[in-house]
Structure 1
């Protein structure tokens, strides 16, 4: 398939560097993935439990099955991205996401029809059906659309990569923070089915947008990263430009790949478990639903500040230092859940989630092109995304089972603290392979 980078218009003819348009487009692409992210699913959780006649453990298991299944093929999706580029990959992912959202809106009718046709218990049919829907939702939204949109931004910049990502991350953080309130507003104004349909229509509009605006990289458009050759910003900055492109097998044989990937996996795991059960978590500590959903607003403020500062610093400092701060944020996040029944736990949770979320956006985007180059970025980031999605898959059931067994979520927080301490101990040997 030809990429046709100059159709419907040539980026080189734009009077300013097209990378800034790509940065905006990639940011919109990540925001459009929200219905496939846990933060988008979480608002619908209780409605799905009621309408599909599933308990919390059953829905979490369906989420686990669908998400794990999607994680197994994301590395392959990354290779498709390397071959066909960001525009093709994002369009296919967004189309799949839109169709899946429409299927969710009709899920009760579909389950009822199948149950009557095959004389199978409604809850059994709904469990199997929603597992398939979660597979499509997570693969297209959290997986492929996010991968294509993030990598789009990374490929258009080199020495200005941190600056571009800082702007994008700030917008993403705000968008993810207000998304639960926006979706809850749609549900309150209409109903949960119509909310799904509205999100599907918005996603279809993005398909048209991606076709017009997305371009995979500057070279195929007759341009270069950053728009021009830039001098190093400091005596150490030249060490951040990759000297060689690693293949996927070479990248996954390095220690640093696994340390950074597992650290990112923790955020996906813990945030997913927390977000999927956020209303239940706060309810178990005596807080209201409004209090639970409103936690994302102050968190986003911390996240935006952290992402902005982290991205700017990333142009001047090694990512290993940012990894350390990120893991400390993870530690506070887990501790916040563990002691959420105390007033101080609420504020520790907000600050920890903010730091963790802000620096996750930095590390998830910048690590792979800086450490391993751009040539095989899709495959390498695809493997990372596969691990992240897998980690997010097991979290809801993990949190749900802890609640079923103990009546609260405190143990999940303490286990999270133990995992982060282990990652902190292992992170000391995570060195940039380009410096070897």
Structure 2
């Protein structure tokens, strides 16, 4: 069920929103730059709400907060359907990005981490894989719906889908799953921390910054090249059709990587897996200038998709591994805010770099330095602990 919740965040994801851009531009008679700016503002503003949503999960529980987030998501999709100009569009983007890409994504994986104590990484991986598969289907299904009934009606249809599927899951499907503080007893039976880690204490540990840095860097660089994929790969000699088809190996590799990386956290220290995902990301970006039509483009797409999915899967499993689940909602609310914010600035950085250098290659090579730095730092991050009598002793 959590996989279905994650999949139905699709209308708020960049891929799900992308098919509405051209119809909106044509109907509202606004420029592409104006819509892009409204989307960036909406994404950044929506990211601000995520720490509050995370705290609410800790205080009120998954079911209550998911119900509220799903209802708000549906309402904001209707706001988008009714938009008559840039102001209404921006307001709709704020809510859809905050509740869809941010809130429902965070709650789905957090619910698994709270409810599962054995083989948690594998469970997170299954949820992520199912959710990723569902998200990848939204652009195709929505494009056909827009062609059949129009973009406004498509937004309304998505709102109805959220209301009739996610709300019942939250109210009845997740019965027995409370807030993270209420379900941390299993962790305590296994020798976990008795009290929630204060956020300030967590933020003083190097592990927090390594995990958060990986989330931010992965979101920034992968969204940048995904958003401009047709243009980026076109510079390497691929046709628009070939560049668009590259999303297929990205999606398939991402599904496999979600399962592999997340399940690996049950056996290996997550910080090593973070280092691995960052190394793959950096290597993929460095090799982009060598990509051409054919197998090299498919390998590039598969590698980048695997790296992005692996980073997300490890992050979802790493925080409960190192810090327990008592303050997991608050913690993931902060990092999800960072992740959403980074996705807003990535495409703009790559576009500005292309304008400055006349080519994507130089700026992509510069961006490769970011995951390389995080990957080098990850193995040296100290395993967090509190006092000897109350600290959790993770594997190192």
What interval of TM-score do these two structures reach, taking the shorter chain for normalisation? 0.7 to 0.9
Gaps of 5+ in 1: 1-24, 112-125, 230-237
Please give the residue correspondences for 1:192-211 in structure 2 after superposition, counting only pairs within 5 Å: 192-205=151-164, 206-211=166-171
Query: Residues of 2 paired with 1:283 and 1:56: CA distance?
Result: 20
Partner of residue 309 from structure 2, selected from 358, 362, 380: 358
Query: Residues of 2 paired with 1:56 and 1:344: CA distance?
Result: 33
Question: Is 1:151 the counterpart of 2:102 in the alignment?
Answer: no
Q: Using the TM superposition, name which of 380-389 and 416-425 deviates more.
A: 416-425
Query: Residues of 1 paired with 2:101 and 2:284: CA distance?
Result: 22
Match of 1:95 in 2: 71
Contact preservation (8 Å) 1:42, 1:277: no
Contact preservation (8 Å) 2:61, 2:179: no
Please give the residue correspondences for 1:272-291 in structure 2 after superposition, counting only pairs within 5 Å: 272-282=223-233, 287=238, 290-291=241-242
Q: 1:242 to 1:186 in 2, by over 3 A?
A: farther
Match of 2:350 in 1: 399
Deviations 1:115-157 (A, max 9, x none): xxxxxxxxxxx2x332222211111111122222211111111
Contact preservation (8 Å) 1:57, 1:400: no
Q: 1:148 to 1:286 in 2, by over 3 A?
A: same
Query: Residues of 1 paired with 2:324 and 2:269: CA distance?
Result: 16
Question: Is 1:369 the counterpart of 2:320 in the alignment?
Answer: yes
Shift of 1:222: 9.5
Q: Using the TM superposition, name which of 159-168 and 217-226 deviates more.
A: 217-226
Shift of 1:385: 0.8
Match of 1:5 in 2: none
- TM-score normalized with structure 1 length: 0.79
Question: Is 1:85 the counterpart of 2:61 in the alignment?
Answer: yes
- TM-score normalized with structure 2 length: 0.86
Query: Residues of 2 paired with 1:333 and 1:200: CA distance?
Result: 37
RMSD: 3.0
Query: Residues of 2 paired with 1:396 and 1:379: CA distance?
Result: 28
SS of corresponding position for 1:35:
helix
Q: 1:193 to 1:93 in 2, by over 3 A?
A: same
Contact preservation (8 Å) 1:338, 1:413: no
Deviations 1:292-323 (A, max 9, x none): 44333222221222222222221111112211
Shift of 1:338: 4.8
Number of equivalenced pairs? 384
Shift of 1:54: 3.9
Please give the residue correspondences for 1:7-26 in structure 2 after superposition, counting only pairs within 5 Å: 25-26=1-2
